[in-house]
Amino acid sequence: MMDFEYQPYGGGAAQATTNQPDHYFGGSYGGGVQSISRREIIEHFAEFRRAIHEGPVTLVQHYYNSNYETMIQNYNTEWPSAEALKEHVGDDALFLTLYKEMYFRHIYASKPGGVSLEERQESYMNYIDLFNLVLAKDQPLKIELPDQWLWDIIEEFIYQFQSFCNFRTKLAKRTDDDIEHLKRNIKIWNVHAVLNVMHSLVDKSRIVEQLEAAKKRSLIGLLKLHTLTSDYYMALKTIECIDLDVTKQNDVCQVFHCIVATNYHAGFCYSMMRNYDDAIRVFVDTLLYIQRSKPIMVAQTFQNDAVNKTADQMMTLLAICLTLNPMRIDETIYLHLKEKFLDKLPKPLLWVGPDGKLPFRDSFAYACPKFISPAPTIFEQRNDSQWAEPFNRQIEVFTEELQEQAYIPDVRSYLKLYTTMNIEKLASFMEKTPQEVKPLLLTFKHKLSGNDAAEKTEEDFQSSADIDFYVDKDIIYIADTKITRRYSDYLVKQILKYQELTRTISEGLTPRHAGNK
């Protein structure tokens, strides 16, 4: 059980408790005419509560999608406080906690000027109350929430933690009262508390089978959290039990954005660990999945913006990975990639644009997650350096990687032309000395050696390059490591499938059906 106390913002007579009452109403932030009356909202949520307790889960899904999506789009709609709703639905702790989770999510999404420190604090304590209701019970709660809602809770929890880290480290914009309050409440949105919540949900799910869906969402939450803190190895270690194949994921998870977000963060971790083969495979499979799922996206407009942005980020990361590690990919994705990055793909890694900037560096800055630092805030530094430091550090890591791999594409292109080659000959092609070429060959070997997740064994490192080589004295011996695909076997399998399908259809066509035809 997780119990945290905090001192109420602004001091006064308010008492510290894990369940601060919500005395204020969601304001009509847009300032326009309300499109939904307050009484109608309360009646809707009263029916929503009944659906949660009585089911079925499809009815809960209907209320969750329709109510939340409608009101999130009407920024001028006033949301009632939990206290006001309590007068109509009774003292239902679970429902009121779930309602406040949606209520604060609405504030985060729509309040002009940003979320206040008090609102961030209230939202955190509400999450602690919600997770305590789940984790403190020996038996599972007698309700069933839709997969979409479970994912939204986990994702919003991580997002609000990320948002608070940025809020806490942008000290140039904080008042003296804000600083003092943050110092007094260092456990609010503490990284250890957030990790504890995620791991507790995973451990609880191993005991209670009913929470299996929550376990997968929690593991994905840990993947995202470790990625944001730049711990890529631990991020991938966390999801070892999750198959990143989108087809298999879709069989066990119907939340479209969850699958896309999982593969985006996993692919990014692979790319940062120089496992470009797996990164490219994950990105291509996910982008194809998004293309095939356009009809679903039309029905789930709530998630469209997030999915489209993530897809654009994956496309950018895919272009970077293919530049560092060229390989054949799906023709549809390749044509889209070529059209989008026609002016960048053929360029050298350290190509400098007309504005004096590195386009690859700028593309990476757009496509990467917005990193955070798990370190405690140094409140004496009243500037934004602590906020920018995690992001800038990862940008510098990527830039150093570009500098180290700048000549690898040239080395690969020359080695692919030969089976044996003298180092002096390679040096003449690259307009360098043999002494300068030898470190480049070592760099080629080192940078393109990684653990292939598709064929991994413990501490089994393989080259992700399409060629391999070794140097004996001054001679380079080159071998093609990629096995040519046997298209005849593939065609034979497809012919057999077609014959089986034709026979099945023919046998199923009875005389009655034939007469009606």
Nearest to 281 by CA among 253, 310, 321: 321
CA distances for 112 relative to 30, 65, 108, 159, angstroms: 8, 24, 9, 18
413 Cβ contact list (under 8 Å, min separation 6): none
Give 463's strand partners: 449
Q: Look at 52-61, 70-79, 233-242, 486-495 and tell me which has the smallest mean pLDDT.
A: 70-79
Q: Is the pLDDT of residue 441 over 80?
A: yes
Average model confidence (pLDDT) for the chain? 76
Q: Which residue has the higher pLDDT, 48 or 5?
A: 48
Amino acid (one-letter) located at 247: T
Q: Is the pLDDT of residue 17 over 70?
A: no
DSSP letter (8 states) at residue 476: E
Cis amide leading into 80 (omega within 30): no
Q: What percent of the chain has pLDDT over 70?
A: 74
Q: Are 125 and 40 in contact (CB under 8 A)?
A: no
Q: How far apart are CA 209 and CA 153, in angstroms?
A: 19
Q: Is the pLDDT of residue 406 over 70?
A: yes
Q: Are 398 and 365 in contact (CB under 8 A)?
A: no
Give the model's pLDDT for residue 345: 55
Give the model's pLDDT for residue 123: 92
Token couple for 189: 């949105």
Give the model's pLDDT for residue 315: 92
- pLDDT band at residue 212, thresholds of 50, 70 and 90? low
Q: Is the pLDDT of residue 291 over 70?
A: yes
Give the model's pLDDT for residue 22: 36
Q: Are 479 and 467 in contact (CB under 8 A)?
A: yes
Q: Is the pLDDT of residue 228 over 90?
A: yes
**Most confident stretch, 38-42, 252-256, 468-472:** 468-472
Give the model's pLDDT for residue 284: 93
Q: Which residue has the higher pLDDT, 422 or 63?
A: 422
φ, ψ (nearest 5 deg) of residue 384: -100, 15
Give the model's pLDDT for residue 265: 94
Give the model's pLDDT for residue 250: 63
What pTM does this model have? Answer: 0.75
Q: How does pLDDT run across 253-285, given as a tens digit for each residue?
A: 678 888 899 999 999 999 998 888 899 999 999
What's the burial of 120, exposed, middle or buried (CB within 10 Å: 0-12/13-18/19+)? buried
Q: Look at 25-29, 229-233, 256-260 and tell me which has the smallest mean pLDDT.
A: 25-29
Quick one: average pLDDT of 426-434?
88
Matching residue, tokens 């994912």: 151
Q: Are 276 and 267 in contact (CB under 8 A)?
A: no
Q: Which residue has the higher pLDDT, 427 or 109?
A: 427
- pLDDT band at residue 508, thresholds of 50, 70 and 90? low
Q: How does pLDDT run across 315-359, given as a tens digit for each residue?
A: 999 988 888 888 888 888 888 888 887 665 555 555 555 554 567
Q: Is the pLDDT of residue 312 over 70?
A: yes
